[in-house]
């Protein structure tokens, strides 16, 4: 039958292992908000890109309408001036009207070229916006899937953490009250790691060389021994 000290050390090691798993689970839980924020930022970036293209397309379409309106107005002016040609009484007036009509037609020619260029630009931006919309749709679906996975992972980790903490508390509860309290105090100060393996004559937690008397006490196993440097409970791995 194992001695009380051996049983206590077994329970301490179990508690230590559970604390290690608790620590790992907490680290994973702490990473989740950052991971969700990163995914959200990627989605927002893609959404902004798509919205910018949509705005750019609207701006170009507004410019196109303005050019088309200007062209229609000038064509209206040409039609009006053409109607006035038959009404003028002097060659000078006739020539002035023809010159004004020619100037308007020259302007219209430039406007028509500009409109063709803008139409090409509209089609290019429309295609880019279409592709970006498809891309955003894919990224949005991927975000929803990943976010659902993260939510499920978070729920699973919280369940694991609760179970591990219960097991750890049960292991500590099997210790004598004073030893349980000692373990808890050290664990709080040392981020859950209250035990330290002795390798040769060195505490592996703080790398401190242990006194020979302390080594003998650990080997005898008659009572719990703590490191004089880091205060962790020392043990040999049998």
- pLDDT single digits (tens) 120-139: 999 999 999 999 999 999 99
Which residues have CB under 8 Å from 187's CB, separation 6+? Answer: 15, 19, 193, 194
Taking the C-alpha atoms of residue 113 and residue 145, their distance in angstroms, rounded to an integer, is 48
Q: What percent of the chain has pLDDT over 90?
A: 82
Output the DSSP codes for 130-159: HHHHHHHHHHHHHHHHHHHHHHHHHHHHHH
Tell me the two tokens of residue 3.
Answer: 């001695």
Report the mean per-residue pLDDT for the chain.
92
Counting Cα atoms < 13 Å in the Cβ hemisphere of 115 gives: 14
Is residue 15 within 8 A of residue 171, CB to CB? The reply is yes
Q: Which fold has domain 21-174?
A: Helix Hairpins (1.10.287)
Is residue 194 within 8 A of residue 16, CB to CB? The reply is yes
pTM of the model: 0.68
- pLDDT single digits (tens) 143-160: 999 999 999 999 999 999
Domain residue spans in the chain?
21-174
Tell me the two tokens of residue 218.
Answer: 């650990």
Q: How confident is the model at residue 221 (pLDDT cuts 50, 70, 90)?
A: confident
Q: How confident is the model at residue 140 (pLDDT cuts 50, 70, 90)?
A: very high
């Amino acid at each position: 039958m194992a001695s009380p000290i051996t049983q206590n050390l077994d329970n301490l090691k179990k508690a230590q292992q559970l604390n290690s798993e608790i620590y790992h689970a907490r680290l994973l839980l702490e990473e989740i908000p950052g991971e969700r924020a990163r995914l959200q930022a990627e989605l927002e970036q893609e959404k902004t890109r798509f919205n910018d293209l949509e705005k750019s397309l609207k701006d170009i379409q507004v410019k196109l309408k303005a050019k088309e309106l200007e062209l229609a107005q000038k064509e209206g002016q040409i039609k009006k001036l053409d109607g006035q040609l038959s009404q003028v009484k002097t060659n000078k007036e006739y020539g002035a009207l023809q010159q004004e009509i020619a100037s308007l037609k020259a302007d219209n020619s430039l406007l028509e070229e500009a409109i063709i260029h803008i139409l090409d630009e509209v089609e290019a931006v429309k295609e880019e916006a279409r592709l970006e919309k498809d891309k955003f749709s894919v990224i949005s679906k991927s975000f929803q899937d990943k976010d659902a996975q993260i939510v499920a992972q978070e729920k699973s980790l919280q369940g694991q953490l609760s179970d591990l903490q219960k097991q750890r508390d049960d292991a500590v509860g099997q210790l004598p009250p004073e030893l349980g309290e000692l373990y808890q105090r050290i664990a709080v100060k040392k981020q859950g790691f209250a035990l330290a393996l002795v390798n040769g004559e060195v505490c592996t937690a703080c790398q401190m060389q242990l006194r020979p008397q302390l080594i003998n006490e650990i080997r005898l196993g008659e009572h719990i021994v703590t490191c004089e440097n880091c205060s962790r409970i020392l043990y040999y791995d049998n």
